[in-house]
Amino acid sequence: MLSRQSFGLNAVQRQSFVISLTAFFTSLLLIALVSVLILIGMRGMAYFWPEPIYMVTGKQSDGSAFTVFANVFEDPSGGDVRLKYADSRAPYGSQKQLSEEQVESLDLIPESAEIKFQDGRRVLAIPEYIVVPSKPAQGLEKINAVMDEVALITAQIEELNTQKLAPIHEALSQFDKRGVDEEAPAREKLVASFTEYQKRVEALEATRAEYELWVSFADKSAFVIPMSDIQSVDFVSRLSTFEKWKVVFSEIGVFLSNSPKQANTSGGVFPALFGTVLMVFLMTIIVTPFGVLAAIYLSEYAPHSALTTTIRVSVSNMAGVPSIVYGVFGLGFFVYTLGGSIDELLFSDALPSPTMGSPGIFWAALTMAILTLPVVIVATEEGLRRVPEGLKTGSYALGATKFETIVRTVLPIASPGIMTGVILAIARAAGEVAPLMLVGAVKFAPALPIDGEFPYLHLDRQFMHLGVLIYDGAFHSQTDGKSASMMFAACLLLLIVVFILNILAVLLRARLRKRYITG
Amino acid sequence: MLKLFEHNTLNVDDISAEQTAVEVRNLNLWFGNKHVLNDISMRIPKNKITALIGQSGCGKSTLISCFNRLNDLYDGCKYNGEIIIDGRNINSRKINVSRLRTNVGMVFQRPNPFPMSIYENVCYGLKLQGVKVRRHLDDAVESALKQAALWDEVKDRLFESAHVLSGGQQQRLVIARALALKPDILLLDEPTSALDPLTTLFIEELMDSLKKQCTIIIVTHNMQQASRVSDYTAFFHQGRLIEYADSDTLFTMPEKKQTEDYITGRYG
């Protein structure tokens, strides 16, 4: 007799045992959830936090001594120390893993600085002095002024390039296209002014190249950095907490607004963020009408037959199909078949190079729409089923046709249910990576899908996606190795994006619920 | 002295074609295999209140749903026979059902205002007909709400949700919604069964005042109500019209035993 007397507990004890058991598993779940958030949050934020710079002396595993400037990370698991350092052999940073015995001394160096480059690299060194054209060497206190000067020259070069050189270049290529003679006076005049502007640009560039920052490494070796390459110089060890936060925020700004650099290990993630949001947005625009119309047919018009039931069951089952299958379908059907046919019909001039027949953001959005369609259909049907029969009959009794009843009464009341479906679809689409890699998401895209060039929204372009960026950065980049902290920052951002998209949809649903309250 | 008891109601057999709002001829109706209405024939007089009484499931609600073809909504509903409204057989395929339903309004047992403002509820039917001019809508809303004796209670909050109203107010709103279309016939399917006695009395008074403009057909389970408000009463049992007469006669001197048993509460 196991049932009544199980574990020798009476009814009350048994009940409290069951309650504790369920509570235990709930708390396990909470712990798992919170640790994910804490890990991603801490590691993600740590990417932006300026780490103090130490001078580390020690012995390498082969016995030779070394001295480097480094950020020091203690391994939480053991006594090992991990260094991110820079010296004359590896000026742009490298990593070292040391056991505790190998480290001889650790000294905070207040005059050391972290110098970040425009291209995403960084150097840890002591800045010594600044070289400025036709003046004696300047002290470091002038560094901000000198950097502003350099930025001004860069802006002038930029302006000449875009305002003067580019239009002349454009006009010249127009001449060439029309077959204008090389010696034609108008063309010669243009060529002359082109050469002149080019000379001015070259002169400016030469001046700019004379601005230099001289730094020294821990082994006293000197290193020269052109000022124009520098993005920022932070004397990390001297910064107050407030100034450190300022650095963090400017880093976050760079992270959100710049392109990835150094094979997606540094720089920013703006194109990926933009691509993710745009893809989800396009997907929502496609999936909502499709899903809602299909659900309306299934629940309002379709006859109650075995076929309808079969369709309904299949739709629900489609939600369980592995996403990579949709990716393969998208590639095979949308990209090659559909895109290929469009190319043959509309862009036959450009063949054999494909226009729509290659992976792109539109095909990705369409694939994701197919993937999330079952979710929207099921949730919408659920919402439609909840519309009270009395309201529909009331509408019919006032002379409304079925269509009018659906548009004016059923859909507004079902709109919170539809929103639930859209929320689920957004959550799923924003986090999906595998199918996207087949139909348009790439490691690096040279251009955004939206720009100032007609037709502004380039649906055929490949795009970057946060998930793909994380995948690529976390597994394929050698330089940052174990820390890979930009990937944590990107993870944090992806979480925040999904969270914001969901919050927006939930708020919208709450509004609709309040507006179309029934009963 | 006898004059006092003499009613202004005619004998049902004497209702002429001009005085008839709805004429039912040999109506049979089936839901699937179930024969719900069995050979019903009756003439319902204009500008009178006709009550349909009988046990639950006797087909009286189904009958009034035939008058605006609401039974079309249900799968497996078949019917034959004729229902003549305004000289036309509404069971014919050529009938525009939407137009029929604007002419034959219906109010249900449970108040079913739409989840919109009071104003929007009343204009629902008019907007469906394409009335867009704001002034016309305003006038129609005001007059419909006045006819439904609701205007004074809601005139200051026309744009609030209809769900803030009480049950009785909601039921009057639903009546106003039907009246806004100026129907000739108003079908009431147990309109007071979900309401308290005082509100019920209020709605009954309302029916009496509406009689001038339209014919009212009411389904009710409440014997007192039927005898209080109606001019004519029809008693149904198991899909058949058992007895149909002016209410005074039916409730005082029923011809059939079944009718007498029912109105005296001896069965069911």
Nearest-CB residue to A390 (from B68, B98, B112): B112
Between CA B140 and CA B122 the distance in angstroms is 8
Mean pLDDT of chain A: 83
Are A204 and A278 found together in one domain? no
- Residue A76 domain-assigned? yes
How many residue pairs bridge chain A and chain B with CB atoms within 8 Å of each other?
65
Between CA A126 and CA A219 the distance in angstroms is 11
Contact B176, B145 (CB under 8 A): yes
Give the pLDDT score at A33. 93
Mean pLDDT of the A322-335 span: 92
Are A406 and A434 found together in one domain? yes
Between CA B43 and CA A289 the distance in angstroms is 49
Q: What angle do CA A412, A414, A420 make, to 5 degrees?
A: 120
Confidence (pTM): 0.77
| Torsion on CA atoms B37, B41, B42, B43, rounded to nearest 10 | 120
User: Shortest CA distance to A436 belongs to which of A470, A476, A464?
Assistant: A464
User: Shortest CA distance to A45 belongs to which of A348, A500, A516, A486?
Assistant: A486
- Residue A475 domain-assigned? yes
Residue in B66, B101, B122, B129 to test binding to A, most A beta-carbons within 10 Å? B101
pLDDT tens per residue across span B192-203: 887 888 888 888
Are A279 and A142 found together in one domain? no
Are A134 and A113 found together in one domain? no
Return the structure tokens found at A152.
Answer: 């001004």
Are A241 and A190 found together in one domain? yes
ipTM for the whole complex: 0.89
Return the structure tokens found at A462.
Answer: 């490949």
DSSP H helical ranges for A162-305: 166-178, 185-209, 241-257, 270-296
Between CA B194 and CA B200 the distance in angstroms is 9
Are A227 and A102 found together in one domain? no
Per the omega criterion (within 30 degrees of 0), is the bond before A352 cis?
yes
Nearest-CB residue to B70 (from A304, A388, A396): A396
Between CA A271 and CA A461 the distance in angstroms is 12
> Look-up: residue for tokens 């929502």?
A284
More confident residue, B53 or A268: B53
pLDDT tens per residue across span A160-180: 888 888 888 888 888 877 777
- Residue A223 domain-assigned? yes
pLDDT tens per residue across span A505-515: 888 888 888 87
> Look-up: residue for tokens 């992976």?
A359
Q: Which domain holds residue A67?
A: 54-117
The Cα of B125 is separated from the nearest Cα of chain A by a number of Å equal to 5
Contacts of A334 (CB under 8 A, 6+ apart): A363, A366, A367, A439
Main-chain dihedrals φ then ψ at residue A130, nearest 5 degrees: -115, 135
- Does residue A452 surpass a pLDDT of 80? no
More confident residue, A435 or A485: A435
Q: How many domains does chain A have?
A: 3
pLDDT tens per residue across span A86-141: 776 777 777 777 777 777 777 888 888 888 887 777 788 888 888 887 777 777 77
Main-chain dihedrals φ then ψ at residue B69, nearest 5 degrees: 55, 30
- Residue A27 domain-assigned? no
Contact B122, B140 (CB under 8 A): yes
Give the pLDDT score at A5. 54
Task: Quote the percentage of chain A above a pLDDT of 70.
Answer: 94
Are A99 and A241 found together in one domain? no
Nearest-CB residue to A390 (from B100, B110, B177): B110
Taking CA–CA distances from B179, the nearest residue in chain A reads A398
Taking CA–CA distances from A403, the nearest residue in chain B reads B128
- Residue A482 domain-assigned? yes
Taking CA–CA distances from B113, the nearest residue in chain A reads A391
Q: How many residues are listed for chain A in this entry?
A: 519
pLDDT tens per residue across span A271-322: 888 999 899 999 999 999 999 999 999 998 888 889 999 999 999 898 889 9
Between CA A365 and CA A165 the distance in angstroms is 38
- What are the C-alpha distances in Å from A290 to residues A339, A369, A372? 20, 9, 11
Could you tell me the CATH number of the domain that includes residue A309?
Answer: 1.10.3720.10
- CB–CB contact A399 B112 (8 Å): no
Domains of chain B, CATH where assigned: 8-263 (3.40.50.300)
DSSP 8-state secondary structure symbol assigned to residue A213 = E
Residue A514: CB atoms within 10 A of its CB come to 10
- Does residue A29 surpass a pLDDT of 90? yes
Give the pLDDT score at A187. 81
Give the pLDDT score at A78. 61
